[in-house]
Structure 1
Amino acid sequence: MDGILLFEQSLNGLQFGLMLFLLAAGLTLVFGIMDMINLAHGSLYMVGAYLIATVAAATDSFWLGLGAGVAGAALFGVLLEVTILRRLYERDHLSQVLGTFAILLMCNETVRLIWGAQPITLNPPAALSGPVELVSGFFYPAYRLFIIGVGLAVALFLYVLITRTRVGMQVRAGAANREMALAMGSNVTRLFTAVFGVGAALCAIAGGMLGPLLAVQVGMGESILILAFVVIVIGGIGSIRGAFLGAMLVGVVDTAGRTLVPMVFDSLLSAEAASSAGPAVASILIYMLMATVLFFKPRGLFPTHG
Structure 2
Amino acid sequence: MNSSLFLSQLLNGLQLGVLLFLLSSGLTLIFGIMNFINLAHGSLYMIGAFVGAATYNASGSFLFSIAAAMASAAAVGLIIEHLVARPLYRYDHLYQVLATFGLMMFFNELAIVIWGNRPYFVEIPEVIRGSVMMFGAEYPIYRLLIIVVGVLVAFGAWFLIQRTRFGMLTRAGATSSSMVGVLGVNIDLLKKSLFMLGAALSGLAGTLAGPILSVQSGMGDPVLILALVVIVVGGIGSIRGALLAAIIIAIIDTLGRAYLPHLLGLVLAPAAANTTGTALASMLIYILMAFVLAFKPHGIMSSAKR
Q: Tell me if TM exceeds 0.5.
A: yes
Quick check: 34-43 or 264-273, which moved more?
264-273
Decide whether the 8 Å contact of 2:21 with 2:243 is kept in 1.
yes
Distance, in Å, in 1 between the alignment partners of 2:176 and 2:266 is 52
The residue type paired with residue 141 of structure 1 is: P
Q: What CA deviation, in whole Å up to 9, does each residue of 1:241-291 have, x standing for no partner? A: 111111111111111111121121112323232122111111111001101
1:290 aligns with 2:303: no
Decide whether the 8 Å contact of 1:177 with 1:305 is kept in 2.
no
Decide whether the 8 Å contact of 2:13 with 2:247 is kept in 1.
yes
Unaligned 5+ runs, structure 2: none
Distance, in Å, in 2 between the alignment partners of 1:285 and 1:183 is 48
Distance, in Å, in 2 between the alignment partners of 1:214 and 1:73 is 19
Distance, in Å, in 1 between the alignment partners of 2:194 and 2:22 is 13
Aligned to 1:21: 21
Could you tell me the TM-score, scaled by structure 1's length? 0.95
Unaligned 5+ runs, structure 1: none
Distance, in Å, in 2 between the alignment partners of 1:179 and 1:294 is 32
Aligned to 1:206: 205
Distance, in Å, in 2 between the alignment partners of 1:5 and 1:134 is 11
Distance, in Å, in 1 between the alignment partners of 2:13 and 2:245 is 12
Decide whether the 8 Å contact of 2:170 with 2:191 is kept in 1.
no
Distance, in Å, in 1 between the alignment partners of 2:24 and 2:132 is 29
Decide whether the 8 Å contact of 1:28 with 1:237 is kept in 2.
yes
Classify 1:279/1:179 alpha carbon distance in 2 versus 1 (closer, same or farther; 3 Å). farther
Decide whether the 8 Å contact of 1:176 with 1:304 is kept in 2.
no
Classify 1:25/1:179 alpha carbon distance in 2 versus 1 (closer, same or farther; 3 Å). farther
1:301 counterpart SS class:
coil
Distance, in Å, in 2 between the alignment partners of 1:174 and 1:243 is 21
Q: CA deviation at 1:228?
A: 0.3
Distance, in Å, in 1 between the alignment partners of 2:8 and 2:121 is 26
Q: CA deviation at 1:102?
A: 1.0
Distance, in Å, in 2 between the alignment partners of 1:220 and 1:196 is 21
Aligned pairs, number: 305
Classify 1:10/1:181 alpha carbon distance in 2 versus 1 (closer, same or farther; 3 Å). farther
Q: What CA deviation, in whole Å up to 9, does each residue of 1:167-222 have, x standing for no partner? A: 12223334556566556654321111001100111011100111111110000110
Q: Percent identity?
A: 49
Quick check: 209-218 or 296-305, which moved more?
296-305
Q: CA deviation at 1:3?
A: 1.8
1:247 aligns with 2:246: yes
Root-mean-square deviation (CA), in Å? Answer: 1.7
Could you tell me the TM-score, scaled by structure 2's length? 0.95
Aligned to 1:172: 171
Decide whether the 8 Å contact of 1:175 with 1:304 is kept in 2.
no
Aligned to 2:259: 260
1:54-203 superposed matches below 5 A: 54-135=54-135, 137-175=136-174, 181=180, 186-203=185-202
Classify 1:61/1:262 alpha carbon distance in 2 versus 1 (closer, same or farther; 3 Å). same
Q: What CA deviation, in whole Å up to 9, does each residue of 1:127-147 have, x standing for no partner? A: 111111124x41001110111
